[in-house]
Structure 1
Amino acid sequence: MKKLSHLNKTLAIISLFILTISCTKNKQNDENITGTSTSASEVLGVSQYNINSFPLNKLVCDPFSTDPVPSPKHGIKASLWYRGLGQLRYYTVMDYLLHTTHSEQNLFFSSINVPTRLFSTGFPIETGGSIEDDNHEKLIEYFALKMESQLTLGNTSEPGTYELAILSDDGAVLKIKDPASTSNSFETLINNDGDTPTKMKCSNRLLEITSESQIPLELYYYQGPKYHIANMLIWRKVSSNSTPGSDPLCNHAGNKLFFDPDLDSKPLAWNDLASRGWKVISPENFLLPNNNQDTSSTSSDSNFNACYQGEAPVISNFQVVEQLATDISFSWTTDVDSTGLMLVTNLDTGIKTTTQTDNLLRRNHSILVTGLQPQTRYRFQAIAFSNSLGRTFSEAIDVTTF
């Protein structure tokens, strides 16, 4: 109790200082909006996660699957590249990574499970809207993903020998760093690169996976012209003397071979694969890579799945406390210990800004928002994060500055 009391006193003193927190903003945003915590209420602890590591206006949660991840340490972290104005069309995934535009968005996936389908939804951002190309159109073609994770057996898969395969439209390349190998570099396990209808490519060797294995992987995928898309990482348990690539469907391709995209991805030849033991690798088999730690924050963990949903706080009494021309203060309460920040939308430009947080846990919150433009319409929402990564948006308050 003495240690907790001392922590509370120390954090309470810290929280009384005015912390000017820099905002996270889009490239085209010339505003310098900041959020400053002005709460003098009791500080109840420090968030175990550094919420500033993955700003919500730069976060995309798996647009292909609603499967939950088992924990904040599970999942697949991805980076995105897309063909910008005046850039050539490319036909290999590495050309996309080397020669196209790198997006500032952070993406998290629960698994790699996209049966052949029509893709028109794009990549929804957590604060609203979708990732756009340089023509300000929804990004649905000519993009590439670098997906990083660690392959593990989880609780339901047995140790043993495994064969992996990819079903993709268009190209995909899987690289792994096998702990059983003497090499410390990534090796290509599956090369399914190039423009193609949905094609099955099988691994060039088998993997021995134990209950302790955590195999780093990188999966590179690109989508060429719209609309068909597919990207599935699958495996099956085999005998140690099996021949890799011996499945009859390895190297076969067709947009209506494995699934029917016109009938809600109805399984076709996929049923044959399933009968031979092939399964989609599930969310419990993906652990986040260990190299994702943000060393700028030593007190809170930044190696976590920002799309994980824990206990969501309930926000009450969100209100404007005071407005002084281009500075506005807000307050609200939460039913559980939470850290808070503000989502600010410029209604004249559509640009969304998220302020940063001090990562301190409270139940009574107040923030002063500064750097607003005069005579401009804004929409404000409080965002609360619980210590288990549950998050809640408040109702919106619209204000016009003086």
Structure 2
Amino acid sequence: MGYEFSIDDVDYLRSRYGDKALQNASAMALTPDSLLREMPDLRSRYGDLAPALVETVLNRRRAAGRLAHADQLLASDTAVQQATAAAVAEHRAADIAARYLGAIVHDVTCSIGSEMMALSVTSGIAGVIGSDVDPVRLAMADHNMSLGDERRSPWLLARADALAPVSNADVVIADPARRNARGRTFKLDELDPPLLELLAVYAGRELVVKCAPGLDYRLLRDRFGFEGQVQIVSLDGGVREACLWSEVTQPRRRATVLRSAGRDYEITSADPDDIDPPGVDEWIIDPDGAVVRAGLVRNYAHRHGLRQLDPQIAYLTGGRVPAGERGFRVLDQLGVSEKNLRGALAAHDCGSLEILVRGLDVDPDRLRKRLKLKGSRPLALIMTRIGRSGTAFLCEPGVRR
């Protein structure tokens, strides 16, 4: 769980003395091995504050490249893990500003303030409120909101329970904790605060709830009557969250694909989804996870002139690879018996193999070991189901267009 910070720790870390101590600690390696040598020195200089210094430096390193102003943040390990990546938070802030121009936005589970930081520097947002039940995280948020030289909207912080509304802000944001004593959870009633209670408490208000990407949003619609928009967001190929927008609007589903290198895009349920019948073409494309989880594979295929290998499988195929996507050029279509695969791989001089699986119960790592590759050529194997039969496609290594 990491070090448990106190208010006194945060007050010290925010002071000029704490800032100087953090600079000194940052110059150290602070690896598991080096701490055996470095901790006695830190304790001799900073006493009981040494663990807070070490944890802060390590958390800043963990946040590097993901959170804004990571080298100056105050945060616990748990808060860093739960914080929304800056690129995702910035995109959502721009989304809110476009939908609700001039809005005051209240983050009712603000934690260390990472979402507030993005909201407060977004043009079109008039003000930001943050609240949390944890006074230590609120103190960290107060520090973090002072970082950088960006011009911020007016903001304030308050200690409050997310299920006890304390403002009449135009838009409410919540990010229920997805961990309990047993670890990560995807159950609606085990989130903190519980998702259904959040939806009930803020019924009739504009509410945005960040949830785990594995959220069963179909269950939320079918059993509990959620009528808003579901947005699945990925960043650099990893699906980060399912975001619920209470506003009843079209489209009902959308996939937002963000990339640090650019070429962001969105696919929605309002996009056309008519495509050619299934088949096998020159290239196989594995759509981004956000597109798959949002159930928008056909909409994505229509946009790029692709079709499915099988109507029930998310792999797509076509004569070209969409810009920015990764494609696999098909060399051969095979059965899935290990004997068959081993012979084909040997014939193609395969020495290293990337294995992608969808629709079959296959462990890629275990299979790769059993195939006993001895060649020199890198290849890819895509294993899936067409109809009721398992099928494998031997391909050239994936390339990004």
| TM-score normalised by structure 1 residue count | 0.27
Give the number of the structure whose residues are more often helix, by fraction. Answer: 2
Give the number of the structure whose residues are more often strand, by fraction. Answer: 1
| TM-score normalised by structure 2 residue count | 0.27
